[in-house]
Amino acid sequence: MNYNYDTSTLLTVKKNMLTEFDGYLIGTLYLAPQKNIINAPYYGVNFDQNAINISKVNLCKKATIGCATACLYHQGIFKTSDFHKNKIKQARIKRTLKFLIQKEEFFAKLIKEIKAIKRKAKKLGLTPAIQLNGTSDILWEKESFTFEESEHKNIMDYFNEVQFFDYTKYDIEKNRKKLPKNYHLTYSRAGSNKGKIIDDWETISKILDNNIDVAIIFTKEMKEHILNDSKYQGYKVIDGDVYNCRAYDIYQRENNQGLIIALQMAKKTDMNNSGFIIQTHEEIEQYLA
């Protein structure tokens, strides 16, 4: 039996302007995060069970309960639609299966699409940028592949002139310190998990001191509060929703310190009390002091 994991595109392409005339053309890859690939049968996506054990797949190994609850994957216009009508999640599951089972075909299509983004960006006078972990946390720097009978260390090495960026919950200094020069990572604060704080303020401040930016998600009110001052606890704070290409953040750093990237939660995002999304002044004191 032939299994079809094809989708119209791998990357979702959007403009992200810095000024009226300058900005990025960003291609983002959205896959099935955490262990959500296990739901493939419910979405009517057939797959080769001899090629993969979907129960063992986890594309976000460091995800906490708060992160999983608020994940972009579960939000949006198809949040409550019937399984077989949810075309967005079907596509994300198919892309994930293609990445896991048909790796050479996956990277061949990814290369073709990045080349197309480069051409389009040049016509528009924009800078191409690629975010591969739109809804996942894969160590892409370790994903080697074969293309046209040649081995490549990773996709960043193949496109060494293109800027790549991602958020991650991995310890960047420990687990991801050997990064390609064109791959920018921002640490995504986790909050607590099963009652235990994963990254308290002492941990976050050490990350910032290592010149690594930290993204923190707030409600609208708490984001406005944290942005009242240009600094928090001595670290520069910027509005992370002004633009999406996190690689540009390096131009805003000061004193060899990372930035606090304040992000506002999306509307109608599911939340819990894990502290992943800072909701009150009390939680600022609890998690960021």
Q: What is the pLDDT of residue 73?
A: 60
pLDDT tens-place string over residues 30-55: 999 999 999 999 889 999 999 999 99
A 10 A CB-CB count for 61 gives 12
pLDDT tens-place string over residues 111-152: 999 999 999 999 999 999 999 999 999 999 999 999 999 999
Identify the band that residue 242 occupies on the pLDDT scale cut at 50, 70 and 90.
very high
Identify the band that residue 193 occupies on the pLDDT scale cut at 50, 70 and 90.
confident
Decide if pLDDT at 59 tops 60: yes
Decide if pLDDT at 82 tops 80: no
Q: Which two tokens stand for residue 187?
A: 């640490």
Domain-located, residue 2: no
Instruction: Note down the domain range covering 228.
Output: 11-287
Please give the tally of structural domains in the chain: 1
pLDDT tens-place string over residues 194-239: 889 999 999 999 999 999 999 999 999 999 999 999 999 999 999 9
Q: What is the pLDDT of residue 84?
A: 63
Closest by CA to 260, choosing from 182, 225, 273, 78, is 225
Q: How far apart (Å, rounded) are the C-alpha atoms in residues 13 and 244? A: 12
Domain-located, residue 229: yes
Q: What is the pLDDT of residue 147?
A: 97
Closest by CA to 136, choosing from 169, 104, 164, 114, is 169
The residues, ordered by sequence, that sit 6+ positions from 76 with a Cβ below 8 Å of its Cβ are: 88
Domain-located, residue 6: no
Q: What is the pLDDT of residue 210?
A: 96
What does the DSSP assignment read for 70-115? Answer: H-GGG-STTTTS-GGG-HHHHHHHHHHHHHHH-HHHHHHHHHHHHH
Give the dihedral sign, CA 83/87/89/90.
Answer: positive
Burial of 89 (0-12, 13-18, 19+ CB in 10 A): buried
Decide if pLDDT at 16 tops 80: yes
Is there a contact between 211 and 254 (Cβ–Cβ < 8 Å)? no
Q: Name beta bridge partners: 11.
A: 29
Decide if pLDDT at 76 tops 70: no
Is there a contact between 242 and 265 (Cβ–Cβ < 8 Å)? no
pLDDT tens-place string over residues 152-192: 999 999 999 999 999 999 999 999 989 999 999 999 999 99
- Indicate the DSSP class of residue 242: S
Q: What is the pLDDT of residue 79?
A: 56
Decide if pLDDT at 1 tops 70: yes
Decide if pLDDT at 266 tops 90: no
Q: What is the pLDDT of residue 202?
A: 97
Residue at token pair 């992943």: 276
Quote the mean pLDDT of the chain.
93
Q: Among 65-74, 92-101, 193-202, 265-274, which stretch is predicted with the lowest mean pLDDT?
A: 65-74
Q: What is the pLDDT of residue 268?
A: 74
